[in-house]
Structure 1
Amino acid sequence: MQKGQRSVSTWTGYAGLGVGLVLIVLLFRSIDLQRSIELIASIGFSSVFILLPFFALHFFETLAWVEVFPPGTKGIRFWPLMKIQVIAETVSMTLPAGVAVGEPLRPYLCNRQMGIDTPVAVAAVAVRKLLLGAMQGVYTVIGALAGFMLLQQVSEDLTGFGGLGYLMLAVGTGVFLLFMVFLLLILNSNSATALHRMLMLVPFKRAKEWLLLRESGFLDTDRQLRSFRGASPMRLFKSTFWYLLGWAMLALESFIILRLLGVDISFSQVLAIDTTLVMLRAVFFFIPSGLGIQDLGYLAFFQAIGIPDAMAYGGAFILLRRFKEVLWYSSGYLWMFLSGVHLSDAEGLDPQKHVRGERS
């Protein structure tokens, strides 16, 4: 059963990578590459500031992750948790179907590097993912409100219909409500146990044997999820605040790059553009790191709002953002290598083993 699921996600991921590479070829045929490189060279030492928002994003997300562990969890240490955050995000954003590997790495590494029981870590990762999604909805609404007039102004050129501002408000609200409903469901029901019962319906003997061996892990995860109901409301408020601040670092990064390049653009305009394209990347989740999708989206927005020499400045902007990602993700893989972490580790996670108190 697992092998089949991995096969589907892997092929989907490779298809997404193929689409992304085709879009990148189209991108490089569109931009003024020579002029873009000249603009990048003109920034000089100030380009180091481009790296800071991405560090801040992981820093804030780690602060939020600390807050969503079940009450009373022991062994949580900030810097080891941030290392796990960087490693898991690197895998999720760079590999075909990377989320299918990167997210399971989180509870595995929490157990391996900090001794946190796997059901506890799984519960924290589930709550983390849902709160992060809910805050993306809030971030989208804020961006749509901040740049509502801009989105309405460029709507016809970009989409062929009016009302992009209203659409993004509706999408952001819908995403927030959807993730909050899922969060309330998993915190107030036996969701993991129900999932186990549903999976037990598969007509494969080996799959059923595998699930029976791990039944207690599903039960323990449900118990840890229910423990969140007794958590302080302040912890929830703090975690949502940190996640929202983390999302805002994406717009701040874009704003810093554009201002360093000398583009006259306001932060509210950047915020509206960024929230729209981050949501677009979420729709094309099967393309690693939104390769090509976001890049062409930025070029389209820059042309629509009338940035002079958009193909040169847009090209410089995209190259700087992608080069920043290469540096950060390279450091993520280096951290992985130095920590002795392998991608196959996520597949070998055995909740039953950790429930008995053994440590890998």
Structure 2
Amino acid sequence: MEEDSLDRARRVLVERGHEGLEEDDEVLHRLHGPRPAALPADLQQGVRTLGEALRGEFQEARLVQRLPFAPLGARGQERGQSPGERRGGGGGWMRLRFGQGDEALELGEERRIEELFHVRAKSIKSSAPAGQRLHSGVAVKRRLVHLVRLLPAAGALGLFILTLRKADLGKAFGLIGSIGLTLPLLLLPFLLAIVLETLGWRIAFRRLGRRLPFVAMLKARLAAEAIIMALPSGAVIGESLLPYLLKRRCGLPFEEGAVGVVARKFFIILSHGLFLALSALVAYGTLQGISNRAIGRPGLAWLLLATSAVLAVVAAALATLLGHARIAQRSRNALERLGLSWLRPWLERHAVKFREADAHLARFFSNRPVLLLRPLPCFLGVWLVKALESALFLALLGAALPFRSVMAFETALQLARAMIVPVPGGLGIQDFGYVLCLRALDVRDAATLGAAFVLLKRGKEAFWMAVGFALLPAGSRRLRPVPPSPEAPAHASP
């Protein structure tokens, strides 16, 4: 009787178009549609027996083909599936719910498939620590980059401390205290230098047809100088911030502020080169006499003259390049070639401003270049005031040196300070240079007097840093754009 039932079951399956596992489930378990009423009880029992007999032969192979057990990210979640779903061979979604969704599977088959699934799941989970390690590696790399950036500043701080340790600090503070009530007046030379630079900068802006308020420009310049003196790579940060400060303080369009910052850099380089050449010529004999003690070889005066020539050439090349090479547009094209999707919209929005910046640069450096000399005396005065400040400090501390000597080493050390960008305010390097120059000039007890001189310099800078940070704009208040001055319209130079 049982064999007849099996034969009848095989015939029914063939007639119904048996195609695979899903059709087996439909026939054997009646998962879809109503129970067929035409099958008698003995035939139903035969179908169940046939299913049990055939299941062991192809169940696992068919199921494994339909369920590839791919990683969740590769075949599941990226297509919008939940972690318990996979696509079957018939195109539908098959849900893995071991022990409750496929009642026809025998317990052994369930356990075998479940073990296979868990093995795959473990392999997926094992990749998570690698991802975490990768993220941890990126974080460590970033920390190392920051550490490398801070190393020059840390080394300079160590050199500064070493410079002070070689001195008698008690005696150094005694020298500072001997200045008396005139000590606060030593803050004024720095302010005078900033005023002269701001005045020359204001004159330079007239070439763009702008007459900016002097006090607002002075506040912006003091705020930027505080950042330059206080932070590692402060020169880069402070000068990058100047266009924003000019916009906030003076209402100047950002692109014109950027042109003004470039113009200021041009005048600083040119005036520094000219004043360094003047200092080397004036103190030529002194420099040649102390060359061996200062740098360990002869030719210090010629070295300073060559350096001044390099600065002058750099300034001339910068003016020529900025006046004719469309630097802003070339920079924009270079940024576009990077292919950064987040940067492209910003570049498209500000394409006009890049063209305007090129127009302003061309007008500033190409239109009647002789008039570029107008602001130059103010910038030369900045270097003269800095040399006078150092000579005054040394005289008050009891070391009245010839002014030509002070002018030479002060200008040279200011150049060293400007070149060491990562070190805030030339800390350590400039201070050690002062002590070295005092020794070369045969100043008695140069270490202690140099320490007192350095402490005066750094104390003065600390005061003006506090003032500059207090002048940094806060809030969202913005001024209206400054209209071109009627005396110097935007299309003509003054």
Question: Which TM-score band (shorter chain)?
Answer: 0.7 to 0.9
Letter of the structure 2 residue corresponding to residue 103 of structure 1: E
How far residue 161 of structure 1 moved from its aligned partner, in angstroms, is 1.4
Cα distance in 2 for partners of 1:172, 1:190 equals 27
Structure 1 stretch 151-160 or stretch 216-225: which is displaced more? 151-160
Structure 1 stretch 72-81 or stretch 181-190: which is displaced more? 72-81
Cα distance in 1 for partners of 2:145, 2:336 equals 21
Q: Residue 173 of structure 2 aligns with which residue?
A: 37
Cα distance in 2 for partners of 1:76, 1:174 equals 32
How far residue 268 of structure 1 moved from its aligned partner, in angstroms, is 0.5
Structure 1 stretch 21-30 or stretch 204-213: which is displaced more? 204-213
How far residue 151 of structure 1 moved from its aligned partner, in angstroms, is 1.7
Letter of the structure 1 residue corresponding to residue 241 of structure 2: L
More helix by share: 1
Question: Counterpart of 1:71 in 2: which secondary structure?
Answer: helix
Aligned residues of 1:85 and 1:106 also touching (Cα < 8 A)? yes
Structure 1 stretch 216-225 or stretch 44-53: which is displaced more? 44-53
* Among 266, 269, 272, the residue aligned to 1:136: 272
* Among 393, 396, 403, the residue aligned to 1:267: 403
How far residue 249 of structure 1 moved from its aligned partner, in angstroms, is 1.4
Aligned residues of 1:119 and 1:220 also touching (Cα < 8 A)? yes
Q: Residue 294 of structure 1 aligns with which residue?
A: 430
- For residues 72 and 215 of structure 1, do their structure 2 counterparts lie closer, same or farther at Cα, with a shift above 3 Å needed? closer
Cα distance in 2 for partners of 1:175, 1:230 equals 20
Q: Residue 46 of structure 1 aligns with which residue?
A: 182
* Among 77, 80, 87, the residue aligned to 2:213: 77
Matches within 5 A, 1:58-73: 58-69=194-205, 71=207, 73=209
State TM-score, norm by structure 1.
Answer: 0.87
Identity of aligned residues (%): 30
Q: Deviations over 1:304-337 (max 9, x none)?
A: 111111122111111111111111111111222x
Structure 1 stretch 273-282 or stretch 64-73: which is displaced more? 64-73
**How many pairs were matched up?**
337
Aligned residues of 1:12 and 1:96 also touching (Cα < 8 A)? no
Letter of the structure 2 residue corresponding to residue 314 of structure 1: G
Matches within 5 A, 1:241-280: 241-280=377-416
Cα distance in 2 for partners of 1:173, 1:7 equals 40
Structure 1 gap ranges (5+): 1-5, 346-353, 355-360
Q: Residue 228 of structure 1 aligns with which residue?
A: 364
Q: Residue 3 of structure 1 aligns with which residue?
A: none
Letter of the structure 2 residue corresponding to residue 132 of structure 1: I
- For residues 195 and 252 of structure 1, do their structure 2 counterparts lie closer, same or farther at Cα, with a shift above 3 Å needed? same
Q: Deviations over 1:236-287 (max 9, x none)?
A: 2221110110122111110010111121311111001111211221232221
Letter of the structure 2 residue corresponding to residue 156 of structure 1: N
How far residue 227 of structure 1 moved from its aligned partner, in angstroms, is 1.8
Cα distance in 1 for partners of 2:209, 2:278 equals 33
Q: Are 2:253 and 1:117 equivalent residues in the alignment?
A: yes
How far residue 214 of structure 1 moved from its aligned partner, in angstroms, is 2.4
Q: Deviations over 1:332-351 (max 9, x none)?
A: 11222xx3179xx9xxxxxx
Question: Counterpart of 1:205 in 2: which secondary structure?
Answer: coil
* Among 355, 367, 370, the residue aligned to 1:219: 355
Q: Residue 417 of structure 2 aligns with which residue?
A: 281
Aligned residues of 1:13 and 1:287 also touching (Cα < 8 A)? no
CA RMSD of aligned residues (A): 2.4
Aligned residues of 2:391 and 2:403 also touching (Cα < 8 A)? yes
- For residues 229 and 318 of structure 1, do their structure 2 counterparts lie closer, same or farther at Cα, with a shift above 3 Å needed? closer
Structure 1 stretch 70-79 or stretch 271-280: which is displaced more? 70-79
- For residues 158 and 229 of structure 1, do their structure 2 counterparts lie closer, same or farther at Cα, with a shift above 3 Å needed? closer
Question: Counterpart of 2:267 in 1: which secondary structure?
Answer: helix
Structure 1 stretch 300-309 or stretch 43-52: which is displaced more? 43-52
* Among 268, 275, 281, the residue aligned to 1:145: 281
Q: Are 2:334 and 1:198 equivalent residues in the alignment?
A: yes
Aligned residues of 1:70 and 1:227 also touching (Cα < 8 A)? no
How far residue 32 of structure 1 moved from its aligned partner, in angstroms, is 1.5
Aligned residues of 1:14 and 1:97 also touching (Cα < 8 A)? no
- For residues 71 and 306 of structure 1, do their structure 2 counterparts lie closer, same or farther at Cα, with a shift above 3 Å needed? closer
Cα distance in 2 for partners of 1:340, 1:305 equals 47
Letter of the structure 2 residue corresponding to residue 167 of structure 1: L
How far residue 70 of structure 1 moved from its aligned partner, in angstroms, is 5.4
Q: Are 2:489 and 1:340 equivalent residues in the alignment?
A: no
Matches within 5 A, 1:96-107: 96-107=232-243
Cα distance in 1 for partners of 2:173, 2:475 equals 36
Cα distance in 1 for partners of 2:400, 2:232 equals 36
Q: Are 2:471 and 1:330 equivalent residues in the alignment?
A: no
Cα distance in 2 for partners of 1:157, 1:288 equals 27
Q: Residue 176 of structure 1 aligns with which residue?
A: 312
* Among 154, 160, 174, the residue aligned to 1:18: 154
Q: Deviations over 1:160-195 (max 9, x none)?
A: 211011001000111111122112210223111112
Cα distance in 2 for partners of 1:104, 1:298 equals 29
Letter of the structure 2 residue corresponding to residue 53 of structure 1: P
Aligned residues of 1:9 and 1:97 also touching (Cα < 8 A)? no
Letter of the structure 1 residue corresponding to residue 466 of structure 2: S
Cα distance in 2 for partners of 1:117, 1:138 equals 32
Cα distance in 2 for partners of 1:137, 1:261 equals 29
Q: Residue 88 of structure 1 aligns with which residue?
A: 224
Structure 2 gap ranges (5+): 1-141, 482-494
Question: Counterpart of 1:204 in 2: which secondary structure?
Answer: coil
Cα distance in 2 for partners of 1:120, 1:11 equals 36
Q: Residue 357 of structure 1 aligns with which residue?
A: none
How far residue 156 of structure 1 moved from its aligned partner, in angstroms, is 1.3
Aligned residues of 1:131 and 1:180 also touching (Cα < 8 A)? no
Letter of the structure 1 residue corresponding to residue 225 of structure 2: E
* Among 441, 463, 467, the residue aligned to 1:305: 441
